[in-house]
Structure 1
């Protein structure tokens, strides 16, 4: 039988062991504040690291999730552990798609966290919209300054419209089926872009042009040398050509010939040219009568004194045949004036009373000299005697 002191010592040992065990359990039981995506709760766990604690709580984290402190950090009693899940945010900015990962829980917070400036930008999702763990895809259109030239006017517009077509609709610029837009309607807008609308129209025009004719000369032995006669009058032809015009902003850009046809045929002129030798004028049997009045003839007589206009109508008909009625003609063939005088004949019959050559004298003066020659030789000196 044990003595009382020994029993007391044994009892004290058991009590000491119990106290030590309780102290050990208390040492491994930690109380921590666990915050998951902003939701915080208090948990107790017999763990040594943050990773152990999350595993015990059934929380799985991936490479894009945020854990503070890190998974391998020791857990301390009273500590706060933060878990933020990563969200995939796909943002198409002005037509360019980019992918980001963020732990923000709203669109606005994510844009701020990622440094995506969205001042005055047009967003397809509200800044206050929640960003769940499934992620979000959204569009962002930033303001751009665009210069639009159309209908003779230039307009500068700051806009968040996505493409050329939308901007033109906003500005109420209508585009016809033939009009040209540069760049194309589906082109995304870029800051500083210059946009040009060209009005295109087509129309058909008709142009009329003259067709020239030739002059055919034929020898005619019935006419004296130097004489000519129009047998057939020449006539210009006419051609009509149709063109299709393409106009850019009212100005001709391109011309295409559609058709061409002769609407009037040209007709060649035919002229008979004399080849018959002229007879020599007979020498006067006596000096021609004076035409200068009491003072005799004078080459500078402007008053018309001494003129003889007998047979004037006959001489007009002969002149029409000889020279086409041109009383001052000089073709260089040696014959002059309306009645085609040789200078030697003109002077022989007193032409010097009026001028040195027949073409330099008036009609009346030429008729006066012709009457002098006619009194001596009749109409034989003239090849157009038949016209009398």
Structure 2
């Protein structure tokens, strides 16, 4: 391809063959003539190629040089006059294609292509110089080619600028997600954009270093640690804990829990998955056990007080127990006392008191009470626990109770009848002296045979004949005196043969 920036007329001919019209680059205007043209080749003053002709000038016809005469040489015929055989390529192409019309083509400068090369006169040396100086055929790019080259040039320029921007904004960073590092390139401006590009979502229990929103530079390292739920039981207390550590040992260090000497339900090297795990931790504690008058201090991670006591070398026997519940969790610095218990059971029968119920009786004088039914106490059998703690006897503790015999309620009649008026003819006698002689002044007195009773020792028939109820010894003293006066009015002092004379003393 020619390096000339202009197209040859051969290209124009191909345009006509393709589109059926003659190509006229500057049809609306006069042909451009900014370049010099050359006169027909000859031996002019300008040398082999002739005199230069500027646009708008008429070329001068060069003088034909006379032939050089050499003595003795045969006569050389004169060369025929120079004929311009140059024919533009587009004319030949137009003729071949049968163009419908011809167009005046502008003459391009230094266009020296054609079917025949110019004949140069003036000798062999001149011909060689003419061949050496003759311009090479030049081909101009097609118009479509120019149109295609222009966008390509713009794209190349854009890509060159974009490459510069690409290099300026691209960052090489290291991203470590849960201990898995990888190197990557990113256009993110800060940590938040980088996480979004990588599809990484972080929550309240996750950690990101540096913090989200921190600006990124090439060479930075970003670390993401996801939180893991742990159902932790630490020294008997349950917790819902979170950790970003990937192993049990790392989680304990994160929480500040000392693992030396502690009981762990999972090994320290066990990995913690994203779903978490259940972990029971019992740290080592100092517990003092007081038993048989001697203290014993042990370091233990026991789960219960009973286990700690056993680790101290103390054995619980029979009813032995401890000062704190044996199934409770032993605390650091706690003192546990072992209680040695001895003893047994004792069964006792105890009396149950009866209940007295009083009933009003209008047939009895006021102030008079008569026992209608005597009461009887009941019996209850009670079982007690007797024990001694560390040699000290304790108060008996009731274990069981059962009623052997129920108590019987005592029924008492209470008189509500008003006292009778005095008995004429018997009020002035010494009734108190008579009562003292008969019964010693006791209203409830009763002789050994059970026939006589009361202050005046009435028999049952005499008492009832005087209007009394029940037994005389159960009646009030006032009623007994009233019945005795009525008896005196009826029979005098005869009813009391031994003590009747006391009435008049």
TM-score (norm 2): 0.38
Instruction: From the two aligned structures, give the one with the greater strand fraction.
Output: 1
Q: Which one scores higher on RCO, CA 8 angstroms, separation ≥ 6?
A: 1
TM-score between the two structures when normalised by the length of structure 1? 0.49
* Larger Rg, first or second structure (1 or 2): 2
